[in-house]
Every structure is written in C-alpha cells, then in structure tokens.
Amino acid sequence: MLLAFFQLGRVISPNLWGWLADHTAKRSYWIKVTALAGALFFIYSFCAESFLQILFVMMAMSIFTSSTIPLMESLTLSHLSTNKGDFSYSKIRVWGSIGFICAAVIMGYCIDFLGIGTLIIALLLIQFFIYFQSLRIPEHNTVSLTTIRRPIFDVIRNPEVIAIIIGCTLMVSSHGLLYNFYSIYLKTFDYSSMVIGALWAVGVVCEIIIFLLMPKILKFLDLKQVILVSLILAVLRFFLIGLYADTLWVLVFAQTLHAATFGSFHVASVQIIEYFFNKEHHARGQSLYNSITYGVGGVVGGILGGVLIEYLGYSATFTLSALLPLAGIAIFYYGLKNYPK
C-alpha cells in the first residue's frame, strides 16, 4: 500500500508543478523549490515509525520529487533544441542509468556492512545534493511554435495524444509488476540475492548501451517504429519471464530486452510527447506523460499485480502481463498517424 500510494502521488503533483512551470516560464526555479521541499520533508523519516507517519513522508516525497524528472526532461529538451552540436537527449539520459548502477552497488555494500539504516541517510544526502546541484541549472526561455497559444485541453483531446498516453500506460503497467515483484518471484526459484542483483544489472547495462546507440538508430527508424519494436520485444520479454523463470539463461536474455522495453521506448515516447505538446505546453506535456504513465501504470502494476499474484500465482501473472504491451501495439499502430518521421 505504501508503494502504491507513492505512485498515486505521481498522478496529480507533476501536473501542478508543470502548470506552474509553464505559467511562470521558470522551470529551473520550480525544480529548486521541489528539490529543497523534498529534502526537508524527508528529514521526518528518521522519526517516522507508524504506518501513517511513513505514509506522510512517502506522500510528501512523491508530491515534491515526482516533478523533478518531467521538469528536467522538459528543460533538457529545450536546451537541446537550440544546441548546434551533435548531442541528443539519450546521451544525457544515459547518466540516469549509470547513477542507478552506482547507487545499487554502493548501497548494497553499505547495507551489508553498516545495516539497512544507512539507506535513509544516503537518500537524505542525495536529496540535498540534488537541491544544491539544481542551483546550477540554467533557465531556458522557450518560444512557442504557434502564433496562437492552444488551450492545454485541446492538446489532450487530440485522439493521437490519447492513444500515446494509453499505450505508454499499458507498457509501464507491465513494468510496474516487474519492479514490484520480479525479485520476490525469482526468490521462489531459490535464486541467490547476488544472481538477482546481477540480472537487474544486465538490464541496466543494456539500457545504457541503447541510450548511446539511439542517435544512430533514429537515423534509420522513426519514433513510431521504435515504439512498436519496443512493444513487440516487451511481449516476448514478459512471456519468457512468466513461463521460463526456472531457466537462468532465458532470464538473462529477457533482461537484455530491457534495452528496448524501457530504454528505446522511453526515449521515443518522451520525444513524441514533446512533438505533440509543442513548446507552449512544454513542462505540462512531460508532466502529464510522467504522471499518468508512471503514476497510473505504477499503481496498476503494483496493486492489480499483487491481487493477481494472490489468486493466480507469479508465473501466470507475469505471463498475462504480456497482454498489456500487446494491446499497446494495436493502440500505437492504429492510433498514431501524425508523428515526426
């Protein structure tokens, strides 16, 4: 419930901060505000003991920190739009994956030798580091590509935007199941913690590789084609995890597909959202995408996945989750006609 409510906060709060960022044209400023607020509220976690106290801390963190990624991606894409060098979004996003690996490895050693209590100390330090680093982020004033500013609801009502949001939510819902229950699932087959950690590392390493290759891939494939290929490979990945989790080499292969099911899919979907929302609704476009796909998708994958596991078991639930990206293929194929080629 705590993890699900954390995701639920991501449904609402990024849209508020996105509206403020677009309305004031100060995305960098709101990144600073939310980063500092998130760090200050997290201090309370050191004395939170009851369910409600921990829920308060997690909801506060969700409300303030869930906007960091969409606002930063909006700001990054703005800077890149006027960049004359050979640089792309994927070459910047790769550092998120590198940070993930570093955090997992370093915190793994710290928890083993110093105890689980070091986790909240590290999280607090990181949150304050994010704030101090945000003080160096330059603002970027965007110029609308249209002479008349469209109402945000006119953009959202676009059938193609609706198709993108629904398709992305289906993909993220299947990954919500993966992030919440994959490690527990593998434990039922007596895989060691080291093997499970190595499998996660394989996925992130492949994710890094695809981020570095995306500029070249996008010279041969357009964004819709990248999304469709990613969804097809997601169907294969969850089918293999559901039916062949007792075979290690199959799991290794399935984890390499994380390069497509998260890496290439994320890069393509972020850029296609940028295209439809234009620069007039820069921050809100990324916030809406992030809040619905990762917020709703995370809740569906966490709560519905947990319920299905209770009644059907892990294997059947992971196998059935392949139906989500399968539905996404149909939605993107038929629903997305006008897109950057």
Q: Where are the domains of the chain?
A: 2-137+148-335
pLDDT of residue 150: 67
Q: Is the pTM here over 0.85, yes or no? A: no
The amino acid present at 211, given as its one-letter code, is: F
Distances in Å between the Cα of 145 and the Cα atoms of 58, 189, 242, 279, 287 are 38, 54, 46, 6, 19
pLDDT of residue 2: 80
> Which residues lie below 8 Å from residue 315, measured CB to CB, with a gap of 6+?
242, 243, 245
Q: Is the model's pLDDT at 25 over the cut of 60? A: yes
Q: Is the model's pLDDT at 148 over the cut of 60? A: no
The domain 2-137+148-335 having CATH identifier 3.30.413.10: the answer here is no
- Rounded-to-integer distance, Cα 202 and Cα 253, Å: 9
Contacts 24+ apart (CB under 8 A), 84-92: 86/215, 88/214, 88/215, 89/267, 89/270, 89/271, 90/210, 90/211, 90/212, 90/214, 90/215, 90/267, 91/211, 91/212, 91/215
Mean pLDDT of 243-251: 95
pLDDT of residue 279: 60
Q: Is the model's pLDDT at 289 over the cut of 60? A: yes
pLDDT, greater one: 316 or 67: 316
Max avg pLDDT among 13-22, 28-37, 221-230: 221-230
- Rounded-to-integer distance, Cα 59 and Cα 67, Å: 13
Q: Is the model's pLDDT at 315 over the cut of 90? A: yes
- Rounded-to-integer distance, Cα 13 and Cα 94, Å: 25
> Mind listing the pLDDT tens digit for each residue in 155-214?
788 889 899 999 999 999 999 899 889 989 998 998 887 788 889 889 989 999 998 898
- Rounded-to-integer distance, Cα 293 and Cα 287, Å: 10
Chain mean pLDDT for the chain: 85
Please give the torsion angle defined by the CA atoms of residues 241, 10, 132 and 28, in that order, rounded to the nearest 10 degrees: 120
pLDDT above 90 coverage of the chain, percent = 38
Q: Is the model's pLDDT at 273 over the cut of 70? A: yes
